Amino acid sequence: MVAVRLLDLDAVAMQRQGIIPGYAPMRGQEAAQVGSAAALDRSVDFAFPTYRELGVAIELGIDPVSYLASHQGAWHGGLWNPAETHLAPLNAVVGGPVTHAVGWAMGARLDHTDGVAITYFGDGASSQGDVHEAMNFAGVYRLPVVFFCQNNGWAISVPTEAQVAGGSVAARAEGYGLVGNRVDGNDVVAVYRATEAAILRARSGGGATVIEAMTYRAGPHSTSDDPGRYRTLDEEQEWLARDPLTLAEARLRELGYVDAYFTGVEAQARDLAAEVRNGVAALDARPGEEMFDFVFQAPTASLLEQKRSWQEASRG
């Protein structure tokens, strides 16, 4: 969680310095992301992220440079292999990864595997029609899916209470025959236990679960956003008092961890952040031909003609 925090802060700094063109910060959501991803069985389960799941990627072992390559613009879907890592490419479509996860879960069911899909989305995305269709489909077929909603309080500039009817996102689960569970998204242990229970339930044929992790987006929606225009400093300070890293450290100190441990964690995280910064800055532009190579498994005649025309134009 400390490494994720520092990498996230450094990604914002890299955007300000022109190293990456844009970034969606996730500061404040470390417990929700790391705790949920830690509950996955990386050999069979599959995670479907949005564009804000840095913590999920790091917990699943993705190289941070490979992850940030998509934000740097060097590669549109990240430089990791989804088939090997079990983390799908970043998805900037609001609610988009939810339908993908349900489709994957149906495939896992048909293949008679033990795999469970977990899909991430925000409270704003929960109002998308695709999310409702996906939950209904998962309910009808009792699919092995965990719908993991990070309710960070704001759908960009719209507060949750202004766009989520029915009291909560978790409450909607009952309408689709799913289990709904609202948890403290800043408590990494609570998140881990809730996700573990949902995964075990799905793996045993019990169907899907909607987890609503109540957390807070401490920074802006994106590096082009100014949260000071729509929320108060008092609100931010109230949530900062429940910072997930502070809560996790307090729990560890109760278990006997001492200053030397935390100093070591901080040092390792800072070394990693420095390595990642250098790695992202050193990324070269990808070959232009790749915009054609990964559209279809078998390229069409029209696509091949476009590629040929582009190559001729590029040679000038």
Instruction: Classify 25 as helix, strand or coil.
Output: coil
Is residue 125 a contact partner of residue 94, using CB atoms and an 8 Å limit?
Answer: yes
Give yes or no: residues 232 and 90 share one domain: yes
The dihedrals phi and psi of 216, each to the nearest 5 degrees, come to: -150, 135
Mean of per-residue pLDDT scores for the chain = 94
At residue 75, does pLDDT exceed 90? no
Is residue 210 a contact partner of residue 204, using CB atoms and an 8 Å limit?
Answer: no
Threshold 0.75, pTM exceeds: yes
Give catalytic status of residue 217 as yes or no: yes
pLDDT value, residue 76: 66
Please calculate the CA angle 14-15-21 and round it to the nearest 5 degrees. Answer: 130
Is residue 218 a contact partner of residue 236, using CB atoms and an 8 Å limit?
Answer: yes
Average pLDDT over residues 216-235: 93
Pick from 102, 112, 86, 82: which is nearest to 203 by CA?
A: 112
Q: Which structure tokens are listed for 232?
A: 């108060």
Give yes or no: residues 46 and 111 share one domain: yes
Q: What is the largest CA-CA distance in the chain?
A: 67
pLDDT value, residue 286: 81
- Which tens digit of pLDDT belongs to each residue from 273-282? 999 999 999 9
Give yes or no: residues 297 and 216 share one domain: no
> Cβ contacts of residue 207 below 8 Å, gap of 6+?
138, 139, 142, 143, 144, 177, 178, 179, 201
Q: What range defines the domain where residue 77 resides?
A: 2-285
Give yes or no: residues 30 and 178 share one domain: yes
Name the CA radius of gyration of the chain, rounded: 20
Classify the phi-psi angles of 157: left when phi > 0, otherwise alpha if psi is within -120 to 50, otherwise beta.
alpha
Give catalytic status of residue 231 as yes or no: no
- Write the DSSP symbol of residue 309: H
Q: For residue 308, give the amino acid letter.
A: R
Give yes or no: residues 58 and 73 share one domain: yes
3-state helix, strand, coil in the chain (%, to 5): 50, 10, 40
Residues in the chain: 316
Q: How confident is the model at residue 26 (pLDDT cuts 50, 70, 90)?
A: very high
Q: Which of 5, 86, 100, 217 is catalytic?
A: 217
Is residue 167 a contact partner of residue 212, using CB atoms and an 8 Å limit?
Answer: no
Give yes or no: residues 296 and 198 share one domain: no
Q: Which structure tokens are listed for 247?
A: 């809560």
Is residue 62 a contact partner of residue 80, using CB atoms and an 8 Å limit?
Answer: yes
Domains held by the chain: number: 2
Residue matched to tokens 């807070």: 216
List 283's β-bridge partners, or say none: none
The Cα-based distances of 309 to 125, 272, 285, 306 in angstroms read 39, 43, 20, 5
Give catalytic status of residue 76 as yes or no: no
Is residue 197 a contact partner of residue 210, using CB atoms and an 8 Å limit?
Answer: no
Strands 117-122 and 209-214: unpaired
Strands 209-214 and 179-184: parallel
pLDDT over 70, % of the chain: 99
Q: Which of 230, 251, 257, 261 is catalytic?
A: 230
Give yes or no: residues 93 and 191 share one domain: yes
pLDDT value, residue 209: 98
Please calculate the CA angle 219-188-202 and round it to the nearest 5 degrees. Answer: 110
Q: Lowest mean pLDDT: which of 145-154, 158-167, 215-224, 259-268?
A: 158-167
pLDDT value, residue 287: 84
Give yes or no: residues 123 and 232 share one domain: yes
Give yes or no: residues 294 and 175 share one domain: no
The Cα-based distances of 105 to 35, 97, 255, 309 in angstroms read 21, 12, 38, 40
Average pLDDT over residues 305-310: 94
Give yes or no: residues 30 and 131 share one domain: yes
Looking up residue 44, the CATH number of its domain turns out to be: 3.40.50.970
At residue 8, does pLDDT exceed 70? yes
Give yes or no: residues 93 and 29 share one domain: yes
pLDDT value, residue 208: 98
List 196's β-bridge partners, or say none: none
Q: Which of 71, 86, 182, 221 is catalytic?
A: 221
Give yes or no: residues 296 and 218 share one domain: no
